[in-house]
Amino acid sequence: MNEFNINIDSRAVAGYDDDNVITLDWWEHIRLRPGMYIGKTGDGSSPDDGIYVLLKEVLDNAIDEYMMGFGKSINIGIEEGVVTIRDYGRGIPLGSVLDVSSKMNTGAKYDSKAFKKSVGLNGVGIKAVNALSSYMFVQSFRDGETKVIEYNKAKIIEDEPVRKTDEPNGTLVKFIPDEEIFKDFQYRDEFIEPLLKNYTFLNSGLIINCNGKKFTSKNGLEDLLNDRMTSEPLYPVIHLQGEDIEIAITHANQYGEEYYSFVNGQFTTQGGTHLSAFKEIVSKTIKEYYSKNFEYSDIRAGIVAAVAIKVQEPVFESQTKTKLGSKNIVSTDPESATIQKFIGDFVKKELDNFLHRNTDTSEAMLRKILESEKERKAIAGVTKLARERAKKSSINNKKLTDCRLHYSDTKGEGLEETSIFITEGNSASGSIEKSRNANYQAVFSLRGKPLNTYGETKQIVYKNEEFNLLQAALNIEDGLDGLRYNKIIIATDADVDGMHIRLLIITFFLQFFPDLIKNNHVYILQTPLFRVRNKKETRYCYTEEERIDAISTLGPNPEITRFKGLGEISPSEFKHFIGENIRLDPLTMRKEDAVKDMLDFYMGKNTMERQQFIINNLIIEEDV
């Protein structure tokens, strides 16, 4: 009875009455809860940061116009945080410019006759851009007339009357992400260019001009694979197209599986029902073609493939549309064909026909599958023992300090923020363990310098205890479907040994799990090199320039500390560097990086050549 009374009293103290019930304007809600609309905010240092979602929301509208047959080019300008996008579609109906840009749940895409297979179906996109921008300018050109509206944080500052124009039809949108929400943001070309390339790969003939650079594609997904592969294909890309579906497949001399999936032009980075169906059906079709009892893992080892489909009213699992949840081609019609059947009917017929017609390709594919099968069988015994050892170790794994939530868990919120820090030494691991967010951040501690795995076979992954346990901790032995952390963060000391350890870990991922890097899961933790402080203020500096600026700002004779190891940074200080202010450099792979040549030079057996390179490029750093 007393417990009941205590609960009643606690409610009374909390104060729940009419004054606690408030109604927010649409823009207030978006600004208060931006994550519901754009995933996360960020500063542009990660490809899934919100400023790129804002760019996409405006671009998607221009792409939808092209898909409907209106306008062949899109012009984009991005300079000092100001984004300008001009398409040459039909233009927003002039009487609806205000509603489309500032009234929730308003848009033409609810009418499937106007936009049959569009991505943006909920009427939120450009309104989210408006609410999260310090300035937005919208101008529609339509049949010799134009209409302009300007906003400041979704509030109208200019609403011009309709006037005559000589400009061709289309829409011009200019916006500046709000620095109150996207602190110190900066658009990065390395994230923008793949986004624009994807749009052109999925819309052959479309021309996108961005800051003077032209993007276009003639061969669709075939161009995409040739652009993304970092090693040579073992046979020419198999490129097949049908109504509302396009696929591209090849194999390369690499470990892992590499997939790119799209729905209605949206890059579904987390896959979904369409990718799951595609992977299963491709494996089954190839197995049946050769009439051999191949394991799917051998068929898919080294595969590089892409699938793009168009469906009516797609259902995504989040507002940012990175994972398809639809099971049917038309989600509102339970009698319609399932995505599994739609993709299955196309792949079974077209891929099987292609392999029968192109025996050179089918023979090259067979050689790759047989090689993968041979290697798997050769290490079967080692693999079994390694799995048992990893399983046994996981019960009391001192190397892994786990978090409570995991990326592979499909339920809950904030799973994009799950991460694992890979570090070396007890002191560094201890500092991160004490200062981390135990819900989302895990720590894996290496013992000394790991093995150089360049040129080794996958057998070494199972024989080497460090890498075997790391693979088990990440849960990536059978691919990325079970990946437990969205971000894999390499955290090493800012000295020569730390850099060497970093390179050895990167080599391991490049050699055996390149898909982790290609799917933007691997990052380098940036920690401050210096602490500059006086009695009133402390500044952490990541570069020599920042150190000089801090000294001049804080006045004469500040205390200067040079951090040479992560263990030198106290847990109380570490909280600043792995929380909201975390600085991460993403690891990326591009075809022009020539990964094989790079690894061969830096991690191969050319000791004398590498030694001479170091001598020629040696920079001696003076102690501070």
Q: How far apart are CA 332 and CA 312, in angstroms?
A: 9
Q: Is the pLDDT of residue 125 over 70?
A: yes
- Cite the DSSP H helix spans in 324-474: 339-357, 359-378, 380-395, 426-435, 459-463, 465-474
Q: Residue 262, Cα to own-chain centre: how many angstroms?
A: 14
Residue linked to tokens 């936009």? 115
DSSP 14-65: H--SGGG-----HHHHHHH-THHHHS----SSSTTSHHHHHHHHHHHHHHHH
Q: Cβ-count burial of 251 within 10 angstroms (0-12 exposed, 13-18 middle, 19+ buried)?
A: buried
Q: 3-class SS at 104?
A: coil
49-76 pLDDT, tens digit per residue, is 899 999 999 999 999 899 888 999 999 9
What's residue 45's pLDDT?
Answer: 83
Q: Is the pLDDT of residue 111 over 60?
A: no
Asked if 407 and 415 touch (Cβ cutoff 8 Å), the reply is yes
Q: How far apart are CA 352 and CA 239, in angstroms?
A: 13
601 forms bridges with which residues in the sheet?
none
Q: Cβ-count burial of 526 within 10 angstroms (0-12 exposed, 13-18 middle, 19+ buried)?
A: middle
B/e letters for 371-398, b = 16+ CB within 10 Å, e = fewer, are bbbebeeebeebbeebeeebeebeeebe
453-481 pLDDT, tens digit per residue, is 988 888 888 888 889 889 989 999 888 88
Kindly state the helix (H) or strand (E) to which residue 228 belongs, with its residue range: helix 221-228
What's residue 176's pLDDT?
Answer: 97
Is domain 30-215 given the CATH code 3.30.565.10 in the classification?
yes
What's residue 593's pLDDT?
Answer: 65
What's residue 444's pLDDT?
Answer: 94
Q: Residue 460 is encoded by which pair of tokens?
A: 């070494």
* 530-538 long-range contacts, CB within 8 A, separation 24+: 530/560, 530/561, 530/562, 530/563, 530/624, 531/559, 531/560, 531/561, 531/563, 531/573, 532/558, 532/559, 532/560, 532/561, 533/558, 533/559, 534/558, 534/559
Side chain identity at 353, as an amino acid letter? Answer: N
In the 8-state DSSP scheme, what is residue 220? T
575-624 pLDDT, tens digit per residue, is 888 887 788 888 888 776 666 777 777 787 776 777 777 777 766 655 54
CB-based contacts of 188: which residues, under 8 Å, 6+ apart? 44, 45
Q: Residue 442: name the closest of 411, 474, 467, 412 by CA.
A: 474
Side chain identity at 111, as an amino acid letter? Answer: D
126-178 pLDDT, tens digit per residue, is 899 999 999 999 999 999 999 999 999 999 999 999 999 999 999 999 999 99
Q: How far apart are CA 554 and CA 454, in angstroms?
A: 47
Higher pLDDT, 116 or 182: 182
What confidence category does residue 281 fall into, taking pLDDT thresholds of 50, 70 and 90? very high
Give the total residue count for the chain. 624
Q: Residue 513: name the closest of 470, 465, 449, 451 by CA.
A: 470
- The percent helix, strand, coil of the chain (3-state, each to 5) is 40, 20, 40
What's residue 607's pLDDT?
Answer: 67
Q: Is the pLDDT of residue 325 over 70?
A: no
Q: Residue 282: name the closest of 358, 220, 336, 348 by CA.
A: 348
What confidence category does residue 318 fall into, taking pLDDT thresholds of 50, 70 and 90? low
Calculate what percentage of the chain has a pLDDT beyond 70. 84
pTM: 0.81
Q: How far apart are CA 503 and CA 202, in angstroms?
A: 35
Q: Residue 210 is encoded by which pair of tokens?
A: 């961005």
Kindly state the helix (H) or strand (E) to which residue 77 belongs, with its residue range: strand 73-79
Asked if 565 and 428 touch (Cβ cutoff 8 Å), the reply is yes
Q: What is the fold, at CATH topology level, of the domain defined by 232-378?
A: Ribosomal Protein S5; domain 2 (3.30.230)
Q: How far apart are CA 550 and CA 533, in angstroms?
A: 8
Q: Is the pLDDT of residue 18 over 90?
A: no
What's residue 286's pLDDT?
Answer: 98
Kindly state the helix (H) or strand (E) to which residue 193 belongs, with its residue range: helix 189-201
Distances (CA, A) of 498 to 25, 204, 342, 493, 512: 50, 46, 51, 4, 22
What's residue 48's pLDDT?
Answer: 82
Side chain identity at 150, as an amino acid letter? Answer: E
Question: Can you give the residue ranges of every domain in the chain?
Answer: 30-215, 232-378, 380-522+572-616, 530-562
Q: Is the pLDDT of residue 113 over 60?
A: no
What's residue 391's pLDDT?
Answer: 63
Q: What is the fold, at CATH topology level, of the domain defined by 380-522+572-616?
A: Rossmann fold (3.40.50)
Q: How far apart are CA 47 and CA 484, in angstroms?
A: 19
Q: Cβ-count burial of 348 within 10 angstroms (0-12 exposed, 13-18 middle, 19+ buried)?
A: middle
What's residue 105's pLDDT?
Answer: 53
* Mean pLDDT (the chain, rounded): 85
